[in-house]
Amino acid sequence: MLAKEVGPLGIKVTIIEPGGFRTDFAGSSQTILADNPAYASTVGAVARFQREYDGAQPGDPKKAAAAVLNIARLDEPPMRLLLGRDAVRAAAEAERTRAEADRKWRSLSESTDFIDDAGQTSNPASPSSSTGGRADLKSRTWLITGASSGLGYALAEFVLQRGDRVVLAARSMNSMSGLAARYPDRALAIGLDVTQPPQRIAAVERAEAQFGGIDVLVNNAGIDFLGAVEEQREEDYRAQFEVKQEERDYRAIFEVNFFGAVSMLRLVLPGMRARKQGTIVNVSSMDGIASLPVNGFYSSSKFALEGLTESLWQEIEPIGLRAFLVEPGSFRTGLADRTKFSGAPIEAYAATSGAFRKVMATMTPEMFPGDPVRAAEAIYEVVASDRPRHWVILGSDAYRLIGAKLDKLRAEYDAGREMAFRTDYPGSAKAIL
């Protein structure tokens, strides 16, 4: 995103992605917490590897420095540069897995639009298809944050219609109270600001007390400010919450979109582990894969959520739990109406941030193809299915944008292979990753 904003100004941006290098990062700069027995086969194994592998990494910091210097001299440097053979292999495997999943589920991704390519209204998923091709009679308890409007409200309503139990949580109670009143035995509406620790704890405790446990957590709460990275005001992205000292410097967007989600899932995981069942649904965005100008802070919060969730499912799947990401495109959730620009325009960004400001002033609902009701059906289908998913793209625009990003990554990945391998120590042992 930053590269798109500053590129027209003649400023180049490159993301360096190193593999294992002998930098002492695993020593003085890294803290490995005590092992939790529940995660011995995943987190514990990685911790042991970190201790044993330190000092044997294949990457040579001096060669990496030379590679970075070479890149800095180029008129057209790459957007992304892998360093090290292990980084090349890991990126290739991640890209292959992601691309295969996207192709396999393309029809579901595009089925959530209001209108299909032929201009005809798409048919919502039928009851037989809403469970991934099998009957699913299991009743679940869902905790959905950001449930007062948009996708969160649509999902809560759809889940209640299917007979499940739902805890609707958001800062505004108005719309949630009306929906909960229609299902008094299976719905509970509670006020929740995910940035406030006491409210997070109370929400989980009330959900567990009312329904005995939480089977599905949907981290849907989110906020956004628009503007070039340089334009945005500090008070809009820096948190003003009076909480623990180490939290005071968290940015406001991250406080809701990332840290709020992290805190909620950490609160529900002990109960899920005890019952040996549970699903975490983290609502990301197409911006969490393919960033756009004016949305840098929002995109980066979603990038962070993507990385955390990818680690999470590798940690909890061996103990019988699931986690996946939802990556919606442009849906008619009202978020665009609630999103504000931050800071005064800077003339230098007229071609990027300035152009988007003008577009925002003329946006209409018809410019957003995604249908929240169809998205709710799709999410329910993935949760109910016995075929695990990790990345769930919703919307034809998201599918196209993410596909274009993957193509660009592949092109730069292929072009950078020689430099990546060149930064390893000569004759180094095969990388463990």
Read off the pLDDT of residues 25-68 as tens digits, 9 standing for 90 and up: 655 556 666 567 777 777 776 666 666 666 777 888 788 878 87
HSE (CB half, 13 Å, CA atoms) of 344?
A: 1
Collapsed DSSP state (helix, strand, coil) of residue 136 = coil
Q: 189-236, pLDDT tens digit by residue?
A: 999 999 999 999 999 999 999 999 999 999 999 876 655 555 455 554
CATH 3.40.50.720 given to domain 113-394: yes
**Is 244 marked active-site?**
no
In sequence order, what E strands does 56-164 have? Answer: 80-83, 141-145
Q: Are residues 273 and 207 in contact, defined by beta-carbon separation less than 8 angstroms?
A: no
Spatial CA neighbour of 131 closest among 122, 118, 140: 140
Output the DSSP codes for 283-317. Answer: E--GGGTS--TTBHHHHHHHHHHHHHHHHHHHHHG
HSE (CB half, 13 Å, CA atoms) of 178?
A: 6
Query: And the tokens for 130?
Result: 């809403």
HSE (CB half, 13 Å, CA atoms) of 85?
A: 13
HSE (CB half, 13 Å, CA atoms) of 97?
A: 10
Buried b (16+ CB within 10 A) or exposed e, 360-396: eeeeeeeebbbbbbbbbbbbbbbbbeeeebbbbbbbb
| pLDDT given at position 13 | 79
| pLDDT given at position 396 | 87
Q: Are residues 332 and 260 in contact, defined by beta-carbon separation less than 8 angstroms?
A: no
Query: And the tokens for 140?
Result: 């679940």
Q: What is the C-alpha to C-alpha distance for residues 217 and 246, in angstroms, rounded to an integer? A: 26
| pLDDT given at position 264 | 96
> Beta-carbon neighbour count of residue 340 at 10 Å?
12
Q: pLDDT averaged over consecutive 10-residue blocks of the chain (433 residues)?
A: 67 81 63 68 69 73 80 80 84 80 80 61 42 58 93 92 96 92 96 94 96 95 65 47 33 85 95 95 92 81 94 93 93 63 71 73 71 91 92 92 90 89 81 66
Catalytic residue among 109, 148, 284, 342: 284
Query: Which residue reads 């992304």 in tokens?
Result: 80
| pLDDT given at position 157 | 95
| pLDDT given at position 71 | 79
Query: And the tokens for 200?
Result: 């997070």
Q: What is the DSSP letter of 147?
A: T
| pLDDT given at position 245 | 24
Query: And the tokens for 218?
Result: 């949907």
| pLDDT given at position 232 | 52
283 phi and psi angles, rounded to 5 deg:
-85, 110
Q: What is the C-alpha to C-alpha distance for residues 239 and 233, in angstroms, rounded to an integer? A: 12
Contacts with 361 (C-beta within 8 Å, 6 or more apart), sequence order: none
Q: What is the DSSP letter of 113?
A: B
Q: What is the C-alpha to C-alpha distance for residues 199 and 95, in angstroms, rounded to an integer? A: 38
Catalytic residue among 302, 330, 349, 353: 302
Output the DSSP codes for 198-231. Answer: HHHHHHHHHHHHHHS--SEEEE-----EEB-TTT
Degrees, nearest 5: CA angle 245-251-256 = 100
| pLDDT given at position 237 | 46
Query: And the tokens for 26?
Result: 């695993």
Query: Which residue reads 């593999």 in tokens?
Result: 19
**Is 122 marked active-site?**
no
| pLDDT given at position 134 | 38
**Is 284 marked active-site?**
yes
| pLDDT given at position 61 | 78
Catalytic residue among 183, 298, 349, 413: 298
Cα(first)–Cα(last) distance of the chain, in Å? 29
Report CA 316 to chain centroid distance, whole Å: 17
| pLDDT given at position 365 | 64
Q: Are residues 379 and 155 in contact, defined by beta-carbon separation less than 8 angstroms?
A: yes
Q: What is the DSSP letter of 37?
A: G
